[in-house]
Amino acid sequence: MPKRRSSFSSFLLALFSGALLPLALAPFSWWPTAVFSICALCFLCRGRGMWGVFSLSLAFGFGLYGVGASWIYVSIHDYGHASIALASLLTGLFALAMAIIFALPLSLFGLFRNAPPQAVLFAFPALWVLGEWFRGWFLTGFPWLNVGYGLIDTWLVGWAPLFGALALSGIAAFGGTLLSLIGERKQHKSMVSTGLMILALLCAGGVYLEIKPWTYPTGKRLDVALVQADLPLLEKWNDEELKRILQNFKQENESLLDQDLIIWPESALPTLQSNISGFLGDIDSNLKQHHVGLLTGIPSNTDTNHYYNSVISLGRASGTYQKRRLVPFGEYVPLERWLRGTIGFFDLPMSAFSAGAAQQRPIRLGTVQIATAICYEIAYADLLARDARDANILLTISNDTWFGKSIGPHQHLQIARMRAVENAKPLLRVTNDGITAIISPRGKVLEELPRFQSGVLKTKVTPYKGASPFSQYGSRPIVGLCFAILIVLRLFRRFR
């Protein structure tokens, strides 16, 4: 067991290690960074009680979210018109809140304060995975910056269709924990050998599973056009701009009548659906005459009190999708009675939405079913998995303009790639200003449009049938395994 280090130097090292971890994710994708970051945290936490582990994990988490989610500053400052000081303060408070949530599950590692290395080798990775799972649902969840996303271009990605991105996070945490134990003075050769053998088997298994066909093509290929409008974010919500936007929408669609399906991004039409029902009716009739389907993001409402961030269908397509997981402060304001109106950030366009129904029928294009996620929802692995079971194509539309030239949109694309791998289905990603992309069932970006440019990405997409194990069972197996590991280790210690 390592000697106890001074608190100040330990906190600094934990903070620095957490700040380095985002380098393992897009756009950097230096995945070994994740292993070394986790190694440092595990090494620092060894031999400490729950409070000591919580304090170090808090510092690590603050570094992780302070750097990895720094793109939140862009939304608050550039589009919420908050001052530099206020935007920095709010971003820092968000990072601190997420650091607390990060540290809570890991603090249980203090229960293994005097555990032998063999127990630590499995306990720390199990707690890491449960921590990511916890952050995915606690207080509506923020399933971002999960380590597993950084392993999408490695041999280990073959495990994703079985157990999801959480399994890849667990493997990275296992490698980091093993490395930290190797660094201790009293090495246990048998334990190290066993750990290395497990890692080798996981890599070999990943290679085999990556080529296994979980789903298969079905039906004829569809001609699909993805429209990246690149509209200035705040200008498009001005009433003066609406006429020009609608005219462009109409003209663009008329130039794409040779396609089977046309897809526009989130809030491509910046007005309520009911406000332009006549305009949409004319387009719907024209599309039906040419046997073309169209999907577009648009705000909708059922009454004067309930507004939804929606995807509607026109022409040959049918169905409507209403966003279920809303972004706090972006699409709704918690404690609205006290916060609304205090600063411009709390009065952004589209900040008064209601959540759609938990169960919704899929959007269809003839016999093809499309599982849909709007923007931030793509980060919820289990939410999409439920819809993806019977779907033939996955779709996510977004408006990443809120995050400017930051790393946020790159992270967002990487998350979408992982959803395609987990469910073994092709995924179409359509955004306002990038990164619009076509993603294969194995998570490879086949084509994409450059950021901050308007354009149309035309492609052929083959529908897929079948369901991966993750589509059927979600995260339950890997979460259950981690709980079982911790229970067995505690019971074994008690019996000893």
Give the separation between CA 53 and CA 105, rounded to whole angstroms.
10
The answer for residues whose C-beta is within 8 angstroms of residue 438's C-beta and 6 or more apart is 226, 426, 427, 428, 429, 445, 446, 447, 448, 457, 459, 461
Say whether 429 sits in a helix, a strand or coil.
Answer: strand
Residue 266 annotated as catalytic: yes
Contact 40, 84 (CB under 8 A): no
* Among 322, 316, 362, 361, residue whose Cα is nearest residue 222: 316
Question: Which of these is catalytic: 132, 375, 377, 482?
Answer: 375
**Are the C-beta atoms of residues 432 and 401 closer than 8 Å to each other?**
yes
Compute the distance between CA of residue 364 and CA of residue 129 in angstroms, rounded to an integer: 35
Of the listed 39, 45, 210, 266, which one is catalytic? 266
- The C-alpha R_g of the chain, in whole angstroms, comes to 24
Residue 414 belongs to what H/E stretch? Answer: helix 408-423
- Compute the distance between CA of residue 470 and CA of residue 191 in angstroms, rounded to an integer: 31
> 460, 259 in Cβ contact below 8 A?
no
Q: Hey, what are 249's tokens?
A: 């929408």
Alpha carbon distance 355, 340 (integer Å):
19
Exactly one of 39, 45, 236, 323 is catalytic; name it: 323
Question: Residue 110: which of 96, 101, 120 has the closest Cα?
Answer: 120
Centroid of chain to Cα 30: 18
Question: Please, are residues 47 and 184 in contact by the beta-carbon 8 Å criterion?
Answer: no
CA dihedral for 71, 72, 73, 79, sign (positive or negative): positive
Query: What is the bridge-based pairing of β-strands 455-461 and 363-365?
Result: unpaired
82 neighbors 344 (Cβ within 8 angstroms): yes
Please tell me the distance from the alpha carbon of residue 290 to that of residue 259, in angstroms, as a whole number: 9
Decide if 323 is catalytic. yes
Beta partners for 397?
A: 374, 430
Cα-based angle 427, 433, 439 (whole degrees, multiple of 5)? 15
Whether 39 sits among the annotated catalytic residues: the reply is no
**Beta pairing class for 437-439 and 261-263:** unpaired
Q: Annotated active-site positions, please?
A: 266, 323, 375
